[in-house]
Amino acid sequence: MRWLVGWAGAAASAARDIQPLGAHLLWEGPDPLWAVGDWRPDEIRLVYADGDTHLAVFGHCGADDETLRRSLVSARAGALRQLTTWPGSYTAVARFGRRTVIPADLAGTRPVFHAAWAGGTAYATAALPLADLTEAQLDVAHLAARLACPEAPEAVGDGTPYQGVHRVPPGHALRLREGGSHDVLGYEPATPLVVAAPPVEREAAVAGVRDALVEAVRTRLAAPRHAPARDAGPVPGMGPADRRAARLGPEPAPGVGADLSGGSASATLALLAAGLPGMPGTVYGTGATLAGERLLAVTFNDLTTAGGPGTAAELDRARLIAENPRLHHLVVAGGEEALPYAELESGPLTDEPGPSLVTAARHRHRLAAGSADHLVGHGARHVLDAHPARLADLLLDRRRRHLVRPVTALAKASGGGSRAMLVPFTVYRAARRLARTPYPEGLTSAAGVLRGTFDEAGATDGALGASLSALAWCRPGPAARWLTGEALAEVSVRLEAVAARPRGGATTGRPGQQLARAALARQAADHRVFEQAAEVRHQRLHAPFYDNQVVRACQALPESLRVQPGARADVLRAVLTGAGVRGLPPGWGATTHAWHTDSVRSGLRTYVSDVVGLFDAPLLADAGLVEARVVRKAVRAAAQGEPLPLDGLAELVGTEIWLRRLLTRRGSCWTAEGNRDPRAVTSGVTP
């Protein structure tokens, strides 16, 4: 895990005695900044302007030094947004004398955390180091809120699993002043609440998405090529291959590669990376490449669900796309060892819990065959697709005719008969109710639902059920049904407290916009956990759809375009056409998530004994969040095929795994003369 840390206004003695373990000092003085972890040399850039004004950029940024310097001068005058407008994915730290500004990204994959310490404020891009620094305890109430209402910022707030460690919301920046005081302020222009902004023309909006995606991919291709480090030296009794396998495990291929799952998002990135001019991602002669092949494309073939129609269709599309002579296609097969819930006992400690912990072994199996810089299509669905609540935004704008096609698609998806005839009226009533419901009233209603009784069946009724449940200001998460009554009551009190505030319960946007931002932030946080849990040594994962400029371009798409069925595939097809890529295979852009559900259920059925064993004496029960007997019963029922929400079980299992790894952790992120207890964050849970 790589992170940066610094502080402002801390007591001189504390700042002098405590330093991050294995850190590289970037700024000296009373407000220092360190980079910690295996950062590459090209992932850290320092730019200096006049006076005591300088900038550190961590990650992959496509701007040159002169552009960074101009943006730094503009940010010093108050235009903080200028620190987030460069192509790529990065974290910027700007220092203006004794003032320091650190903006978080728009999605949430590049978060910023802060905590009060030694009379000042410490900040970092990871929460666990700050918990070590402040000797924070585990925040059980925050874990309950994450499980009960994961997409509700009102329930989770700006907290983290560690008490006293706070998160800067996406689209905001942390500003530190001399003396250690701080504030959090938004850097994006405010959206009008009553009158919608003038919509961007469809062609111009799609062109903006195309330009942003092309620039995002070009930024990755323009970076220096990397290869796994060579063997460090001889070891008695072991050959070079044995030493590499023992010390490093699987090594990625040199250069740049991409996923090629057969879906529209990964295929778009792979085709763009293979077709852009310049140095190829995969250099000829490495990784068994042939002449003319510019990019390594990796497809995962799940042998446990090979007979499913969804899997077969995606593999066929991936094979047809890979006939492009610029792509070097590699198919990675996985059996039971690559199912979800495999190898739950092994894996790194991530900064926060997440459902990706149950599928980490599956993803590592695929990513180990990838490249040192590997492109993935994560985030495309949440930045391009319309959240169901955007139907309420269309009603607020009196654009009812744009509801016809999405409502008709939902009616077809729900099957025929008299039930399908009632779908348009049902969806329209739900959208109108959301549009007319005040924000505080919606939070109060959600608090009442948490104190009620959940439906034991619990499975959403296909696309229609998922859309109807999403047409609310706040809704319980899929894991809420297995939480204890005390935990749910505490979360409901949080929601009612927010609703009762004079201005705290005021909405910051239209229903569709606000709920779409919350869903994106939730998915981006899960992607960050995925990166840490499935990390392969010497490899960097790149998700261009989460880049600031790509998110902004996708936000400019008209709502009337977003809500239409197949909008994501149409936009990405237009992006490829504008970039000169044509001849896409039949069925390109089809959504097939049923095979993913099948693989999750297969993994749960195969490893049901391991999962049940986790809840023989779970730490979640020690914390008062679940009853072990209830969860064990749900796991066995889901493994037998009962229609229970599998994503809710993944949330519970992922949180339990994370707690166990946190409890068994040894060591600390800091080195100092004073003794720092690395187990302080687990004091809220009884082993």
Average confidence (pLDDT) over 10-33: 86
Token pair recorded at residue 483: 């939480």
Q: Which amino acid is at 581?
A: V
Rounded CA-CA distance 309/138 in Å is 45
Closest CA relative to residue 351, chosen from 165, 521, 103: 165
Q: Which residue has the higher pLDDT, 462 or 188?
A: 188
Rounded CA-CA distance 196/380 in Å is 24
Rounded CA-CA distance 582/387 in Å is 29
Instruction: Give the pLDDT confidence score for residue 640 in this predicted structure.
Output: 93
Rounded CA-CA distance 553/461 in Å is 33
Strands 253-259 and 371-375 come out as parallel
Instruction: Give the pLDDT confidence score for residue 249 in this predicted structure.
Output: 57
Inter-residue contact 167 to 112 (CB < 8 Å): yes
Rounded CA-CA distance 296/303 in Å is 22
Instruction: Give the pLDDT confidence score for residue 456 in this predicted structure.
Output: 43
Instruction: Give the pLDDT confidence score for residue 229 in this predicted structure.
Output: 64
Q: Is the pLDDT of residue 58 over 50?
A: yes
Lowest mean pLDDT of 450-464, 510-524, 672-686, name the range.
Answer: 672-686
Q: Is the pLDDT of residue 442 over 80?
A: yes
Closest CA relative to residue 385, chosen from 589, 243, 208, 245: 589
Q: Is the pLDDT of residue 222 over 50?
A: yes
Res. 314 pLDDT band, cuts 50 70 90: confident
Q: Give per-residue pLDDT as tens, 636-675.
A: 999 998 989 999 999 999 999 999 999 988 778 887 543 3
Q: Which residue has the higher pLDDT, 132 or 504?
A: 132
Closest CA relative to residue 352, chosen from 32, 626, 654: 654
Q: Is the pLDDT of residue 234 over 60?
A: no
A 10 A CB-CB count for 637 gives: 14
Q: How far is CA 49 from CA 70, 78, 396, in A?
A: 9, 16, 47
Inter-residue contact 253 to 282 (CB < 8 Å): yes
Average pLDDT, the chain: 86
SS3 call for 305: helix
Instruction: Give the pLDDT confidence score for residue 232 in this predicted structure.
Output: 47
Average confidence (pLDDT) over 304-308: 64
SS3 call for 300: strand
Instruction: Give the pLDDT confidence score for residue 238 in this predicted structure.
Output: 47
Instruction: Give the pLDDT confidence score for residue 132 in this predicted structure.
Output: 94
Instruction: Give the pLDDT confidence score for residue 458 in this predicted structure.
Output: 40
Percent of the chain with pLDDT over 90: 58
Inter-residue contact 611 to 605 (CB < 8 Å): no
CB contact set of 503 (below 8 Å; sequence gap of 6+): none
Q: Is the pLDDT of residue 260 over 50?
A: yes
Average confidence (pLDDT) over 97-103: 93
Percent of the chain with pLDDT over 70: 87
Q: Which residue has the higher pLDDT, 599 or 287?
A: 599
Res. 327 pLDDT band, cuts 50 70 90: very high
Res. 10 pLDDT band, cuts 50 70 90: confident
Lowest mean pLDDT of 87-96, 104-113, 504-513, name the range.
Answer: 504-513
Q: Find the DSSP H helices in 590-675.
A: 594-606, 608-614, 619-622, 628-639, 646-663
Strands 53-61 and 44-48 come out as antiparallel
Q: How far is CA 89 from CA 37, 302, 540, 585, in A?
A: 18, 30, 12, 31
Average confidence (pLDDT) over 331-340: 90
Average confidence (pLDDT) over 201-205: 90
Q: Give per-residue pLDDT as tens, 22-35.
A: 899 999 888 899 99
Res. 307 pLDDT band, cuts 50 70 90: low
Q: Is the pLDDT of residue 201 over 90?
A: no
Q: How far is CA 494 from CA 278, 489, 500, in A?
A: 53, 9, 10
Lowest mean pLDDT of 3-7, 12-16, 60-64, name the range.
Answer: 12-16
Average confidence (pLDDT) over 209-230: 90
Q: State the distance between the two ends of the chain, measured CA to CA, in whole angstroms.
A: 26
Q: Give per-residue pLDDT as tens, 542-555.
A: 999 999 999 999 99
